[in-house]
Amino acid sequence: MIQKTPVMRKCISCRTTFDRKNLLKVTNDQKLGIVLNQGMGRSAYICKSKKCYTDSKLPKKLQKALKSIINPDFFDIFEREIANYK
Ligand SMILES: [Zn+2]
């Protein structure tokens, strides 16, 4: 039996480490720009606890983590995604 080691990543809001599967991934993709749960490149992770994905400082934290200005359109997509978790 092959044991899979979960890939652990840290939430940029609460700084807790989680299995990557349980996190929202935001990637600064060279071609696509800032994307949610897709793309390749520098990534930041946010856990699925309400206080994290609704953190008012999240846009700033994301910009800092991704070293990029985030288009407001991204937050529309993000909000649509997190609406599934509420
Ligand atoms: Zn968190």
CATH of the domain at 67: 3.30.1230.10
Identify whether 3 is part of a domain.
no
Q: Which residue has the higher pLDDT, 13 or 71?
A: 13
Q: Assess whether pLDDT exceeds 70 at residue 86.
A: no
The pTM of the full predicted model, rounded to 2 decimals, is 0.89
Give me the number of domains the chain comprises. Answer: 1
What is the distance in A from the centroid of ligand 1 to the CA of 44?
11
Identify whether 39 is part of a domain.
yes
- Tens digits of residue pLDDT in 14-53: 999 999 999 999 999 999 999 999 999 999 999 999 999 9
Identify whether 23 is part of a domain.
yes
Instruction: Please give the angle made by the CA atoms of 27, 44 and 31, to the nearest 5 degrees.
Output: 15
Q: Assess whether pLDDT exceeds 90 at residue 84.
A: no
What is the distance in A from the centroid of ligand 1 to the CA of 1?
32
Q: Are 43 and 30 in contact (CB under 8 A)?
A: no
What is the distance in A from the centroid of ligand 1 to the CA of 74?
19
Residue 1 pLDDT level (bands cut at 50, 70, 90): confident
Please list all protein residues whose beta carbon sits less than 5 angstroms from ligand 1, which is an ion: 11, 13-14, 47, 52
